[in-house]
Amino acid sequence: MSPGHKKILQLIFLDRFHFKLLILFLSLGATLLGLSVPYAQKVFSADLSYSGLFICVLLSLAYLIFNQLTLFVGQNESVQAQKKLAELLYRHNLSLKPLTLQHKTTGEVVSLYTTDVTSVVVWLEQSLPHGLTTLFPLLLTPFFLFYFYDLPLTFSFLLVAVLVLINSLMAFRQSVFFFRFKVLPPIGWDSSTSGFRTSAV
């Protein structure tokens, strides 16, 4: 692994690490609140009291707030990482020799290389917040159902395994499409023929 790769990985995974922990705790809190909502609804349906209704509404709002905060912090971390990556690319391109630039301006080279910056930080924007808000419910829901509704753990985890398998197959299929899209030859304008041309990557 080259020093440049290590620097990018450190920037994405270790930079502002306390915010990654914040995403973790927010997603865990959202999971616990989300699991408590159906139990509060069960209690409310038994006594039909105003206090029970208030608790249901309060827990639902708290769950939505924690869930949206998880996504917001992940989005904000993605923006911060994009800014730092773009700045690193700009400084690197400024240090390149004119021959290396192949008669292109620095801005043109930066624009070319920053097209994939968004893809690099997708772990912060989508994978981490969405992954945690999916992982925690999958792990905690079987225990919740066993404790409050006496549903066997084996049955619950079997259903979770089936869901994970189906989603993994769909994710793999989507990743194949994404990979094939990224390796398509770029299309450019050929001034000599006044038409579009494709070049191999």
pLDDT in tens, 114-161: 666 677 777 778 888 888 888 898 889 899 889 888 889 999 999 999
pLDDT in the model for residue 60: 94
User: Among residues 118, 125, 126, which one has the least CA distance to residue 171?
Assistant: 126
User: Among residues 120, 122, 127, which one has the least CA distance to residue 86?
Assistant: 120
The helix (H) or strand (E) run that includes residue 188 is: strand 187-190
pLDDT in the model for residue 201: 42
Q: pLDDT per residue over 92-103, tens digit each?
A: 767 666 655 566
Q: How far apart are the C-alpha atoms of 37 and 60, rounded to whole Å?
A: 6
Q: How far apart are the C-alpha atoms of 126 and 119, rounded to whole Å?
A: 10
Q: How far apart are the C-alpha atoms of 128 and 148, rounded to whole Å?
A: 29
Task: Specify the pTM.
Answer: 0.72
Which residues lie closer than 8 Å to 31 by C-beta, 6 or more apart? 133, 136, 137, 140
Q: Where are the domains of the chain?
A: 3-138, 152-201
Q: How far apart are the C-alpha atoms of 18 and 191, rounded to whole Å?
A: 51
The DSSP call for residue 124 is I
Neighbours of 170 (CB within 10 A): 10
Neighbours of 81 (CB within 10 A): 22
Q: How far apart are the C-alpha atoms of 85 and 82, rounded to whole Å?
A: 5
Neighbours of 49 (CB within 10 A): 11
pLDDT in the model for residue 112: 61
pLDDT in the model for residue 30: 93
Q: Which residue ranges in the chain fall short of pLDDT 70?
A: 1-5, 93, 95-117, 182-201
